[in-house]
Amino acid sequence: MGFQNEKLLDQIGLKILTVLQEDARVPLSRIGKKVGLSAPAVAERMRKLEEAGIIKGYHARIAPEAVGRSVSAFIKLTTDPQNYKAVKALAVDMKEIIACHHISGEGSFIIYVQVGDLPALEAVVERLSPYGQTQTSIVLSTSVDKTFMVPLP
């Protein structure tokens, strides 16, 4: 971590990030009250955090099942290094793929998908299969989901 990022991630910067992770729609004045700054000072801090690439965006969390994506699965793909670029490009292009992680250990990628039904999952697996061996695990339920949160010190 560079000096500039260390400066931005002081106690106040970390508090701002914590508040934003909990609810990015909190008014600047309320954030200011929580961290001891004025609303304009909070806005300036947030701008600097954005410019430094620490804050990457503000997003709405949408319930997948509410938009017809009731089946979630993890697909482990084992492939040769010459296929990595193609797999990554496919992951970018396929809207069903929510995350694609290049991993160490067994396998090459862990791919998280959300689809409407099992035939749609099968279609995703079929598109990945030409690149190597797949192993699919369907999510039965999710008891903890902190995918939108980054643990802060």
pLDDT given at position 6: 78
pLDDT at 120: 98
Per-10-residue mean pLDDT, the chain, length 153: 75 95 94 96 96 93 93 98 98 97 96 98 98 98 88 85
At the topology level, CATH places domain 3-51 in Arc Repressor Mutant, subunit A (1.10.10)
- Alpha-carbon gap, residue 87 to 111, rounded angstroms: 10
Q: Is 122 helix (H, G, I), strand (E, B) or coil?
A: helix
pLDDT, residue 72, reads 97
Domain ranges of the chain: 3-51, 64-138
pLDDT of residue 96: 97
pLDDT at 150: 87
Predicted local distance difference test score (pLDDT) of residue 1: 52
Q: Has domain 64-138 been given CATH number 3.40.50.970?
A: no
- Please report, to the nearest 10 degrees, the dihedral formed by the alpha carbons of residues 107, 140, 89, 110 taken in order: -20
Predicted local confidence at residue 3, as pLDDT: 58
If 0-12 CB within 10 Å is exposed, 13-18 middle and 19+ buried, where does residue 60 land? exposed
Q: What is the pTM of this model?
A: 0.84
Euclidean distance between CA atoms 18 and 33, whole angstroms: 14
Residue ranges in the chain assigned as alpha helix (H): 3-8, 11-22, 28-35, 39-51, 84-93, 118-128
